[in-house]
Structure formats: structure tokens, C-alpha cells
Amino acid sequence: MHEVQVLEKVVDTSYLNTAVPSTLPTTYGVAAGMRCIPPNDLPRVKRPPQGYVVVGAGKTGIDACLWLLENQVSPEDICWVVPRDPWLQNRANMQH
């Protein structure tokens, strides 16, 4: 039996990193002939498409859906792709 005394420890918390979608390339393919509009570019769209597909259940996805609704896009023209089990927390209850 050997006894080991630990003097230093490395804790990897990289799984907690936050990634801002607008700073990264998409991790999925976009079909030929389809437009992929980053959320920050929505206000600059000159010719609105027939419909929108918002990908992601995070804050950015929610903000994109709300922006579209606030700018007179019909809910029927928005398809929101989210994981089966998104978790949302009310910040008012989490921050003091």
C-alpha cells in the first residue's frame, strides 16, 4: 500500500464555459438555397423570408423569437427548434 499526499489539484470546469452564438460558426449544415441569418442581423433583413426557423432554447433563441414577434412576424411563421428538456430559471428568483 502506498500513501500519496496531494499538493496541487487541477479542476477542469470548461464544460461551464459560456459561448456566444454570434461569435462562432454554426455547428450544423445549412441546405443549399437557404439563408442562415444570425440573430444580430435580423434588424437588417430587407426581404423577409416566408418563415423563420430559430435553432436553440437558450437566451439567444428566446430573444430571437421575441424580436420576431415584436416586429409583427406571425407566430405561424416561426418554427422554434429546441431540445426536449430545456431548463429555464427566472433570474428575479436567482439573483439577489
CB distance 62 to 90 below 8 Å: no
The confidence score (pLDDT) of residue 86 equals 66
Task: Classify residue 35: in a domain, yes or no.
Answer: no
Q: pLDDT tens for residues 16-28?
A: 888 777 788 878 8
What's the rounded Cα separation, in Å, for the pair 21 and 19? 6
What is the model's pLDDT at position 80? 95
Inside any domain, residue 10: no
Bridge partners of 54, per DSSP, are 80
Residue at 23 is within a domain:
no
Three cell numbers, residue 20: 456566444
Residue 94's H or E segment, with its range, is helix 91-94
1 inside domain: no
Please give the grid coordinates belonging to residue 19. 459561448
**pLDDT < 70 regions, the chain:** 86, 95-96
The domain containing residue 69 runs over which residues? 49-85
How many domains is the chain partitioned into structurally? 1
8 A C-beta contact, residue 68 and residue 60: no
